[in-house]
Structure 1
Amino acid sequence: MKICKTAQAGAFESNDVLITVAPNEQGGVQVQLETKRVILKQFGKQIEQVVRDQVAKMGAEDVIIKVQDKGALNYTIRARVQTALERALV
């Protein structure tokens, strides 16, 4: 799956996550996670793994994924990543 343009999904509200995807000119999958320090320390690796798993499941390559988390659960993160990736294809 080749990402053609920048796209977003989600909202920057409580219990949600804003996902922004963009083509990565250097290649590979890059995850940029922004959240509260406490959440980053406790759940940062898990959030990043959920994002990377969804990207791999969809077969996306050469993408930068910016994750602005406000306490979203894993299923919400997966859905937002999927939607943003699908929007970036069109």
Structure 2
Amino acid sequence: MKIIQPAFAGTLESSDLQVRIAPNPEGVIDILLDSTVQKQFGAAIETLIREVLSNMGVESASLEIEDKGALDCVIKARVQAAVMRGADSQEIQWSALS
């Protein structure tokens, strides 16, 4: 999927995260992560985000993520929602979401 517009998903409530995504003119994935559990799980969270982006075919995007201790399933759902909104896509590719 190609990110064509800025979009966001999620909240800043406890156990959630907010994902802001935008097109990246440099043609790479750029992730800025701010997490309450950064020291313990920052690397794992970033790996999961990159995996979701790869599964959805995103090759270029800038993401700003504020995590308040979200579980993996929430992280995946929020990233997927932000990608679909940023790509202005209504079509769900179920095989990419697993």
Pairwise TM-score range, normalised by the shorter structure: over 0.9
Give the fraction of aligned pairs with identical amino acids, expressed as a percent. 41
SS at match of 1:26: coil
The equivalent position to 1:73 in structure 2, one of 62, 71, 74, is 71
Residue matched to 1:57: 55
Q: Secondary structure at the match of 1:8?
A: strand
Number of the residue aligned with 1:87: 85
Query: What residue is the counterpart of 2:15 in the other structure?
Result: 15
Q: Deviations over 1:34-87 (max 9, x none)?
A: 123xx1111000000010000000001210111100000001000000000000
In the superposition, the TM-score normalised over structure 1's length comes to 0.94
Task: Give the Cα separation in 1 of the matches to 2:73 and 2:11.
Answer: 15
RMSD: 0.7
- Partner AA of 1:69 in structure 2: D
2: CA distance, partners of 1:65 / 1:74: 17
Matches within 5 A, 1:23-42: 23-36=23-36, 39-42=37-40
Higher helix share: 1
CA deviation digits over 1:10-45, x for unaligned, max 9? 101100000010001111111110123xx1111000
Find runs of 4+ consecutive structure 1 residues off by over 6 angstroms.
none
Alignment TM-score, normalising by the size of structure 2 = 0.87
Q: For structure 2, list consecutive stretches of 5 or more residues without a partner in the other structure.
A: 89-98
